[in-house]
Amino acid sequence: MDRRRFLASAGLAGASIVAGCGSLQEQSTQSPPLVEDRPKATYYPTHAEGMETLGTGEAGDYRVGLTYSYPHRFWTVTGTTTEQVTIQDADSVHLMASVWDPETTMVLPVQSGVSITIDADGETVADKQPWPMASQNMGFHYGDNYQLDGEGVYEITVRVDGMTERRLGGFAGRFGDAGEWATNFEFSRSARDNIAYTEYPDQRGSRAALELMDMEMLPTSQVPAPEALPGELLGTGRGSDEVYAATWLTGADFLESGQSYLAVSVRTPYNRVPLPMMSLDSTVEVGGETVYDDALSAAVHPDIGYHYGAVVEATGDPAVTVETVGPSQVSRHEGYETAFLGTPTLNF
């Protein structure tokens, strides 16, 4: 006897009776067909779904917010290839966790990851590490589709592990430890099915992006415009639609005399959402001499945001080459899955 499948089919029957024609159910378990000939770049998706906030709270040094929406299709990334994750019949919701610094409200991509455990009646219903993900209207978050055991009250626990990324400036010494936060969620299909859902038959597939949502209790994940980055802006460049901005800092509080800091901030076009989990190499020449030739490390700084950087044992006017060894490995919501997959080399 397969209880979960039984519940799923009972749920379907229930919903179609309530909805009369089953349109709500269709909306929540299906998405419109993908655009044909998707551009190899950011594009306007077929549809957008709103979301509901389940709560926010402190988790150690972090602040965490949890939101949900309809189950989504999305794409995981390994190397330079994507793999579409389709919606399963048993999927109930798409859960999204955001993690940020309560002081600066900067959204923090944490490579060590987030785990979400869902319990009901003393039993674990789901325990997964959701995918680090980028979406046009929500930015960077951790998300996945979850299969609940019917309507009712669930306890959701979000655990954020300690950051291993380099933490600079005001972030030094913070976010090294794991934090945990829990909230209750009363799941009902009718509440879920009241979440906004909009299709874009005219704009879909065009070279554009949805705007970031105003999420009330949650900050949006944006890195500064290139000209707002601290230090001397060395330039910007376009890769496989993602925007690279390189800046050169001297005299920052985390540097010693004779040192400079190269920061490369990679973000989406339109919305400036950071693209974490890339592998970048860099060569820096000052006065015709190679002063750095190695990998860049993921780092966060209150004024730079998430970026890839290196302390360089030189000062002066740099000539910088940035080689993309591996593109951003974050999973993608629709409209981002064909972009940011290249391995460009840029010179600044």
Partner 1 sequence: MSDRGISRRDFAKSAVAIGGASALAACLDRFGSPDVPSGTDPTTLPARQHAWDGGLPTDDAGNRRLGRHHVLLLLNYERDGTPTSGDRQQVTDALESLERAYAWQANGLQFTLGYSPAYFERFESGPTGVDLPDPAALAPFEEPEFDTPDATCHLASDHEQVVLAAEEALKGNRESVNDTEMRDSFDGIFSEADRRTGFVGAGLPAENQDVDGIPDSEPVPEDAPLFMGFNSGFDGNQASEDRVTVESGPFAGGTTQHLSRIRLQLQQWYEQDSRKQRVSKMFCPAHADEDRVEGVGENLGTDSGIDECAEDVVENSRTEGVAGHAQKVARARDENDTPVILRRDFDSTDGGEARVHFLSLQRSIADFVATKSMMNGTDVADESAVGQRVNNGILQYMRVERRGNYLLPPRDLRALPPADPA
Residues engaged in binding partner 1 (CB under 8 A): 1-5, 7, 10, 76-80, 83, 85, 88, 90, 111-113, 115, 120-121, 123-129, 131-132, 144, 147, 149-153, 161-162, 164, 178, 277-279, 295, 297, 325-329
Q: To 5 degrees, how large is the angle CA 189–CA 76–CA 222?
A: 85
Compute the least distance from the CB of residue 250 to partner 1, in Å.
26
Compute the least distance from the CB of residue 172 to partner 1, in Å.
17
H and E: helices and strands count for the chain: 3, 24
CA distances from 253 to 46, 164, 191 (A): 46, 20, 49
The token duo for 180 is 């945990």
Compute the least distance from the CB of residue 157 to partner 1, in Å.
12
Identify the DSSP state of 226.
G
Compute the least distance from the CB of residue 141 to partner 1, in Å.
14
Nearer CB in complex with partner 1: 32/176: 176
- Give residue for tokens 């400079």: 260
Compute the least distance from the CB of residue 167 to partner 1, in Å.
13
What H or E segment, with its residue span, contains residue 8?
Answer: helix 3-19
Nearer CB in complex with partner 1: 210/223: 223
What residues contact 277, with CB distance under 8 A and at least 6 apart? 109, 111, 132, 298, 328, 329, 330
Nearer CB in complex with partner 1: 176/316: 176
Tell me how far apart the alpha carbons of residues 72 and 254 are, in angstroms, rounded to a whole number: 42
Please provide the DSSP assignment of 138-203 as one string.
TEEEEEEEE--SSSEEEEEEEEEPPP-SEE-GGGTT-S-S-EEEEEEEEE-HHHHHTS-EEE-TTT
At 76 the three-state DSSP class reads strand
Nearer CB in complex with partner 1: 212/263: 263
Tell me how far apart the alpha carbons of residues 145 and 132 are, in angstroms, rounded to a whole number: 13
Nearer CB in complex with partner 1: 112/194: 112
Nearer CB in complex with partner 1: 64/286: 64
- 234 close to 248: Cβ distance less than 8 angstroms: yes
Compute the least distance from the CB of residue 75 to partner 1, in Å.
10
Compute the least distance from the CB of residue 20 to partner 1, in Å.
21
Nearer CB in complex with partner 1: 52/180: 180
| Torsion angle of the four alpha carbons 149, 213, 81, 283, in this order, in degrees rounded to the nearest 10 | -130
Tell me how far apart the alpha carbons of residues 229 and 248 are, in angstroms, rounded to a whole number: 10
Nearer CB in complex with partner 1: 122/201: 122
Compute the least distance from the CB of residue 145 to partner 1, in Å.
8
